[in-house]
Amino acid sequence: MKAAGGNKTSIDRLVPDHIRNFTPYIPSKPDDVLMKMSGCSRLFRLNNNENPLGPPAAARRVIESYPTGRLSIYPSGDAYHLRARLSVLFGLHPDQFLVGNGANEVISFVIKAFCQEGDNIITGDKTFAVYEWVAMFSGFTAKLVPLKEFAFDDEGMLAEIDGRTKVLFLCNPNNPTGSYWSEQKLRRFLDRVAGRQIVVVDEAYCEFVDKGDFPDGMRLIAEYPNLVVFRTFSKMYGLAGLRIGYLAGALEVVDVIRRTCVVYSVNALAQEAALAALEDPDHVPATRELIGREKTRLCRALDGLGLPHVAGEGNFVMVRLPINDALAYRKMMTHGIMVRCMAGFRFPNWVRISISLPEVMERCVDTLAAVVAGDSATG
């Protein structure tokens, strides 16, 4: 390749080492392409922990009636009305919230706000991988602490803190294991950190949890000014396709993070649908009832198949297979059942199954049984 002026250059020379050595995430192909590749006529996605009930009814009405004439108008650059509603809901100031294009964007906000060359973040080795990825492709070190009995090792994370540690990421409950930090454990951890680092608690699946000792991160912000809480509208509220999530923290901390935000990254429809979703009184209880019932049925079926599994909190179950997870994935895809391979989460030969509607779960169990038994003719 020749640059202007005739000087020869190479794109490789321009690429930083941390980008050159980073392996990009390859998303799955669209449904129509996957069905053609797998030879199935219908695809059931049980790989991304999506809500099988879809968005709340109130949010659907907003989406269905959204005036097309407004599509030429820029959205609120800071999700003004949504932040105002969140402030009432959680008893915080509107400026203590930042809304992003999904939780992935707010992860990036935090890391960019506090890390500089030579710094590191700490998280679990088998958790939501985006904490690690964002740190790495931003040029920072990600220290990964092994889980203990499928749960975050608080003491192990504390031991890894050094003078260049800026942020610690906790997923509560954890994706993909479903383990959770009790309020006592989280408070003890925050007390030990003692404000020296930012502690992020990602509560993407918190609305699925109904445990008396599960902490409400929003309530702890007043006591721990170094605490940042993530939440999303993708999981419980079924708005994954609109990409909207948010963070909350102390005013001083959020003011710093705000400086790294990209305004207008959250579209107007997402903002209005999220606002409506918060006002729907029936959606969360209905989703919890469905997930609880179908998760129990799935676990009983897995017991009957003799398949070890981890079924903590959240709308998913992790299953250990007697065969390679990639092979199981391909075989199940031929029957239209799409699960998540866990090798990328450092759980080789495990798959994660999202909980869905009864008829879908029944098909999933039948397909899994046939695949494990080696009968590829079922379906």
Q: Percentage of the chain with pLDDT > 70?
A: 96
Q: What is d(CA 104, CA 314) in angstroms, rounded to the nearest whole number?
A: 19
Q: Span 27-54+283-373: which CATH code?
A: 3.90.1150.10
Q: How confident is the model over 148-166, as a mean pLDDT?
A: 98
pLDDT in tens, 23-50: 888 888 999 999 999 999 999 999 999 9
Q: Grade residue 4 by pLDDT with cuts at 50, 70 and 90.
A: low
Q: Grade residue 379 by pLDDT with cuts at 50, 70 and 90.
A: very low
Strand, coil or helix: 31: helix
Identity of residue 269: L
Q: Indicate whether 287 pLDDT > 50.
A: yes
pLDDT computed for residue 8 by the predictor? 53
pLDDT in tens, 328-351: 999 999 999 999 999 988 999 999
Going by C-alpha positions, the residue among 43, 44, 55, 46 that lies closest to residue 355 is: 46
Going by C-alpha positions, the residue among 209, 266, 201 that lies closest to residue 239 is: 266
Query: Would you say 266 and 285 are in contact if contact means Cβ atoms under 8 Å apart?
Result: no
Q: Residue 235 has what DSSP assignment?
A: S
- List the chain domain ranges: 27-54+283-373, 57-277
pLDDT computed for residue 37 by the predictor? 92
Q: What is d(CA 250, CA 322) in angstroms, rounded to the nearest whole number?
A: 47
pLDDT computed for residue 304 by the predictor? 97
Q: Grade residue 9 by pLDDT with cuts at 50, 70 and 90.
A: low
* CATH fold of 57-277: Aspartate Aminotransferase; domain 2 (3.40.640)
pLDDT computed for residue 30 by the predictor? 92
pLDDT averaged over every residue in the chain:
94
Q: How confident is the model over 198-211, as a mean pLDDT?
A: 97
Q: Is it true that 27-54+283-373 and 57-277 share their CATH fold?
A: no
Q: Residues with Cβ < 8 Å from 248, sequence gap 6 or more?
A: 86, 90, 92, 96, 97, 98, 217, 218, 221, 228, 229, 231, 254
Burial (CB count within 10 angstroms: exposed 0-12, middle 13-18, buried 19+), residue 72? exposed
